[in-house]
Amino acid sequence: MTGRPLYVGIDLGTTNSAVAVFDGETTQVIRNAQGSTLTPSVVRIDGKGRVTVGAAARRFLERDPENTRSEFKRLMGTERALPFAASGRSLRPPELAAAVLGALRADVLDQVGLLPDAAVISVPALFELPQSAATSEAAKLAGFGKVELLPEPIASALAAGWTAEQGDGRWLVYDLGGGTFDVSLLETDGGFLRVVGHDGDNFLGGRDFDWAIVDWALAEIAREHGVTIRRDDPTHGAAIAQLKHAAEDAKVGLSRAGQVVLTLAAPLEIPGAAPFDPELALDRAVLEGLISPLVDRSLDVCRRLLQEHGTSADQLARIVFVGGPTVTPMLRERVGHTLGAAVAEGLDPMTLVAQGAAIHAASTALDGRPAGPLVRRGARLWLQFPAVCTDLSPHVIGRVVDAGQGPMPSNVRLVRGDGGFTSEVATLDDDRAFVAAVELVARHANVFEIVAEDAAGVRVAVDPPSVTIVQGMTIGDPPLSRSIGVALVSDHVQVYFERGTPLPARRSFTHATVESVARGAAEAVLKIPIVQGEHDRAHLCRLVGTLEIPGHAIGKTLPAGSDIELTIELDRGGRMSAKALVPALDQMFEHVAHLLVPAADPEVLAASLAALRQRVDDLRAEAFRRGMPHIIGALEHAEHDLGDVSRDLGAATGGNDDAGQRARRTLLEIDAALDEVEQSKQWPELEQRVVRTLTWAGGQVGHLGTERERALFEDVAKAIDRARAERNVRELQRQLRLANQLGETAWYRDPDTWPALFDEASSRVDAASDLPRAQALVREGKAARARDDGAELRRITEKLWRLLPHDPTARRASYDSGVR
Amino acid sequence: MSALGIEGLVAQLVAFTAALAFAWLLGVANREESRPGFFGLAQWLVLGLVGLLSGAMLLRGELLGAPVLAMTGVLAWPWAFARGWLIPRGHWRAAWWLVRSSSWTWHDDNKGGALVAAAWAALRAGGPSRALAFVEARCERSDCGAAHLLATGLVDDAAARRWIGSLCEFEGVAAPRMARRLAVQWCAAEAATRGAWSEVARFAGDPDADATVAMLAVVARRMLGAAPCPDDAELERAWKHTPDRADWRPLVERARAHRPAEPTATPAVPREAEPDVHRAALLLHARLLAHARPTAAEVAATARAWDRALADARFTDGVRRRAAAVGARTDALAILRARVEADLVEVVRTTGVALGEDPDRVHDTLGRVRSALHQALLDELELVADGLLTRVRARRALPLHEEWREYLALRGAFTSAVEHTGPNLQRLGYAIVNPAICALGVWLWNDRKNRVHANQMFRWLLREAEIAGDAEAVALHRRNVDCGR
Amino acid sequence: MSAVDRWGDNPFFVLDLPVTATRAEVERAGQKWLGMLEVGMSRAAIYTTPLGVRARTPELVRAAMAELRDPERRIGHELWHLEHEPPSTLDAEDDADAEGPEPEPAALRILGWSRP
Ligand SMILES: Nc1ncnc2c1ncn2[C@@H]1O[C@H](COP(=O)(O)OP(=O)(O)O)[C@@H](O)[C@H]1O
Ligand SMILES: [Mg+2]
Prediction ipTM score: 0.83
Angle at A610 between CA A606 and CA A612, to 5 degrees: 115
Q: Does C110 touch chain B (CB under 8 A)?
A: yes
Q: Which range (A309-323, B162-176, B369-383) has the least confidence?
A: B162-176
Average pLDDT over residues B31-50: 67
| Pairs of residues, one from chain A and one from chain C, whose beta carbons lie less than 8 Å apart | 80
**What are the sequence ranges of the domains in chain B?**
3-76, 157-257, 277-353, 378-482
Residue B36: the pLDDT is: 57
Q: Does residue C30 lie in a domain region?
A: yes
Interchain proximity B399–A518, CB inside 8 Å: yes
Residue A126: the pLDDT is: 77
β-strand pairing of A7-11 with C52-55: unpaired
Measured between beta carbons, the chain C residues lying within 8 angstroms of B323 are 75
Q: Round to whole Å and give the CA distance between B66 and B58.
A: 6
Give the number of the ligand closest to the Cα of residue A325: 1
Average pLDDT over residues A627-638: 80
Interchain proximity B196–C100, CB inside 8 Å: yes
Residue A540: the pLDDT is: 79
One-letter amino acid for residue A300 of the chain: D
- Asked if residue A373 has a cis previous peptide bond (ω within 30° of 0), the answer is no
Residue C78: pLDDT band (50, 70, 90) is: very high
Average pLDDT over residues A576-603: 78
pTM: 0.77
Residue A442 CB neighbours (<10 A): 11
In ligand 1, the atom with minimum distance to the C-alpha of A349 is 17
Most C-contacting residue of A196, A363, A435, A501 (CB-CB within 10 A), to test interface: A435
Q: How far is the CA of A567 from the centre of ligand 1 (A)?
A: 42
Which pLDDT tens digit goes with each residue over A490-506? 888 899 998 878 888 88
Q: Does A197 touch chain C (CB under 8 A)?
A: no
CA distances from A609 to A612, A621, A633, A636, B266 (A): 5, 18, 20, 15, 64
Q: Round to whole Å and give the CA distance between A578 and A570.
A: 9
CA distances from A187 to A131, A161, A315, B49, C56 (A): 27, 11, 11, 100, 29
Q: How far is the CA of A11 from the centre of ligand 1 (A)?
A: 13
> Which percentage of chain A shows pLDDT scores above 70?
95
Q: Which helix (H) or strand (E) is A758 found in, with range?
A: helix A753-763
Residue B264: the pLDDT is: 45
Measured between beta carbons, the chain C residues lying within 8 angstroms of B336 are 76, 79
Minimal CA separation from A106 to chain B, in Å: 47
Average pLDDT over residues B236-255: 84
Which pLDDT tens digit goes with each residue over B391-416? 888 888 887 778 888 888 898 889 88
Measured between beta carbons, the chain A residues lying within 8 angstroms of C65 are 476, 502
* Closest in C27, C35, C39 to A192, CB measured: C27
Q: How far is the CA of A177 from the centre of ligand 2 (A)?
A: 5
Residue C96: the pLDDT is: 40
In this structure, what is the dihedral angle of CA atoms B389, B393, B394, B399, given to the nearest 10 degrees? 70
* Closest in C31, C38, C40 to A431, CB measured: C40
* Closest in B398, B405, B472 to A518, CB measured: B398
B171 pLDDT higher than 80:
no
Task: Identify which has the larger pLDDT, A218 or B157.
Answer: A218
A1 pLDDT higher than 50:
no
Closest residue in C to A571 (Cα–Cα): C59
Q: Round to whole Å and give the CA distance between A654 and A743.
A: 58
Q: Round to whole Å and give the CA distance between B217 and B297.
A: 32
Q: Round to whole Å and give the CA distance between B381 and B171.
A: 25
Interchain proximity B319–C74, CB inside 8 Å: no
Q: Which range (A213-222, A642-651, B146-155) has the least confidence?
A: B146-155
Q: Round to whole Å and give the CA distance between A183 and B69.
A: 98
How many Å separate Cα B40 from the centre of its chain? 30
Report which DSSP code applies to A765: G
Which pLDDT tens digit goes with each residue over A308-337? 888 887 788 889 999 999 999 989 999 999
Residues with CB under 6 A from ligand 1: A 13-16, 177-179, 206-207, 248, 251-252, 255, 323-325, 327-328
Q: Which range (A314-318, B83-87, C49-53) has the least confidence?
A: B83-87
Minimal CA separation from C15 to chain A, in Å: 14
Q: Does residue C116 lie in a domain region?
A: no
Residue C98: pLDDT band (50, 70, 90) is: very low
Q: For chain B, how far is it from start to end, CA to CA, in angstroms?
A: 50
Q: Which chains touch A (3 or more CB pairs under 8 A)?
A: B, C
How confident is the prediction for chain A on average, in pLDDT?
Answer: 85
Which pLDDT tens digit goes with each residue over A704-760? 888 878 888 888 888 888 888 877 788 888 888 888 888 888 887 777 777 888 888
- Asked if residue B228 has a cis previous peptide bond (ω within 30° of 0), the answer is yes
Interchain proximity C66–A479, CB inside 8 Å: yes
Sign of CA dihedral B153, B156, B157, B158: negative
Q: How far is the CA of C87 from the centre of ligand 1 (A)?
A: 61
Provide the domain count of chain C.
1
How confident is the prediction for chain B on average, in pLDDT?
Answer: 79
A29 pLDDT higher than 90:
yes
Residue A665: pLDDT band (50, 70, 90) is: confident
Measured between beta carbons, the chain A residues lying within 8 angstroms of B383 are 489-490, 514, 820
Residue A111: the pLDDT is: 92
Report which DSSP code applies to A393: S
Residue A392 CB neighbours (<10 A): 15
Residue B252: pLDDT band (50, 70, 90) is: confident
Minimal CA separation from C28 to chain A, in Å: 6
Q: Round to whole Å and give the CA distance between A701 and B182.
A: 48
Average pLDDT over residues A658-671: 80
Q: How far is the CA of A15 from the centre of ligand 1 (A)?
A: 7
Sign of CA dihedral B139, B143, B148, B152: positive
Which pLDDT tens digit goes with each residue over B178-189? 777 888 888 888
Average pLDDT over residues A154-175: 82
Q: Round to whole Å and give the CA distance between A594 and A546.
A: 7
Q: Does residue C40 lie in a domain region?
A: yes
User: What are phi and psi for residue A2, nearest 5 degrees?
Assistant: -130, 165
Residue B267: the pLDDT is: 41
Q: Are B419 and B387 in contact (CB under 8 A)?
A: no
Residue A374: pLDDT band (50, 70, 90) is: low
Of B454, B472, B83, B367, which Cα lies nearest the Cα of A728?
B367
Residue B263: pLDDT band (50, 70, 90) is: very low
State which of A10, A16, A298 you would mutate to test the pocket of ligand 1, scoring each by most atoms of that ligand within 8 A of its C-beta: A16
Q: Does residue C53 lie in a domain region?
A: yes
* CB-count exposure of residue C18 (10 Å: 0-12, 13-18, 19+): exposed
> Which percentage of chain A shows pLDDT scores above 90?
26
Sign of CA dihedral A59, A64, A68, A70: positive
Q: Which range (A211-220, B4-13, B94-103, B124-133) has the least confidence?
A: B4-13
Of B163, B173, B225, B222, which Cα lies nearest the Cα of B404?
B163
How many Å separate Cα C43 from the centre of its chain? 16
B158 pLDDT higher than 70:
no
Residue A11: the pLDDT is: 96
Q: Does A541 touch chain C (CB under 8 A)?
A: no
Minimal CA separation from A88 to chain C, in Å: 48
Q: Are B396 and A706 in contact (CB under 8 A)?
A: no
- Secondary structure string (H, E, C) spanning chain B: CHHHHHHHHHHHHHHHHHHHHHHHHHHHHCCCCCCCCHHHHHHHHHHHHHHHHHHHHHHCCCCCHHHHHHHHHHHHCHHHHHHHHHHHHCCHHHHHHHHCCCHHHHHHHHHHHHHHHHHHHHHHCCCCHHHHHHHHHHHHHCCCCCHHHHHHHHHCHHHHHHHHHHHHCCCCCCCCHHHHHHHHHHHHHHHHHHCCHHHHHHHHHCCCCCHHHHHHHHHHHHHHCCCCCCCHHHHHHHHHCCCCHHHHHHHHHHHHHCCCCCCCCCCCCCCCCCCCHHHHHHHHHHHHHHCCCCCHHHHHHHHHHHHHHHHCHHHHHHHHHHHHHHCCCCCHHHHHHHHHHHHHHHHHHHHCCCCCCCCCCCCCHHHHHHHHHHHHHHHHHHHHHHHHHHHHHCCCCCCHHHHHHHHHHHHHHHHHHHHHCCHHHHHHHHHHHHHHHHHHHHHHHHCCCCHHHHHHHHHHHHHHHHHHCCHHHHHHHHHHHHCCC
Of A422, B330, B483, which Cα lies nearest the Cα of C71?
B330
| Among B residues 147-206, those touching chain C with beta carbons less than 8 Å apart | 185-186, 188-190, 192-198
Alpha carbons within 13 A on the beta-carbon side of A468: 13
Interchain proximity B424–A706, CB inside 8 Å: no
Task: Identify which has the larger pLDDT, A31 or A233.
Answer: A31
Nearest Cα residue to atom 17 of ligand 1: A323
Residue B269: the pLDDT is: 47
Interchain proximity B362–A726, CB inside 8 Å: yes
Q: How far is the CA of A319 from the centre of ligand 1 (A)?
A: 18
Q: For chain C, how far is it from start to end, CA to CA, in angstroms?
A: 42
Residue A9: pLDDT band (50, 70, 90) is: very high
> Which percentage of chain B shows pLDDT scores above 70?
81
A237 pLDDT higher than 80:
no
Minimal CA separation from C105 to chain B, in Å: 4
Q: Are A696 and A725 in contact (CB under 8 A)?
A: no
Residue A39: the pLDDT is: 95
Helix, coil or strand: residue A707: helix
Q: Round to whole Å and give the CA distance between A380 and A377.
A: 8
Residue C99: the pLDDT is: 41
How confident is the prediction for chain C on average, in pLDDT?
Answer: 81
CATH number, domain of C49, equals 1.10.287
Nearest Cα residue to atom 15 of ligand 1: A324
Bridge partners of residue A545, in order along the sequence: A530, A594
Residue A811: the pLDDT is: 33
In this structure, what is the dihedral angle of CA atoms A444, A449, A450, A455, given to the nearest 10 degrees? -140
| Among A residues 469-508, those touching chain C with beta carbons less than 8 Å apart | 476-477, 479, 500-502, 504-506
Q: Round to whole Å and give the CA distance between A250 and A83.
A: 31
CA distances from A652 to A91, A175, A660, A662, B253 (A): 21, 27, 5, 9, 88
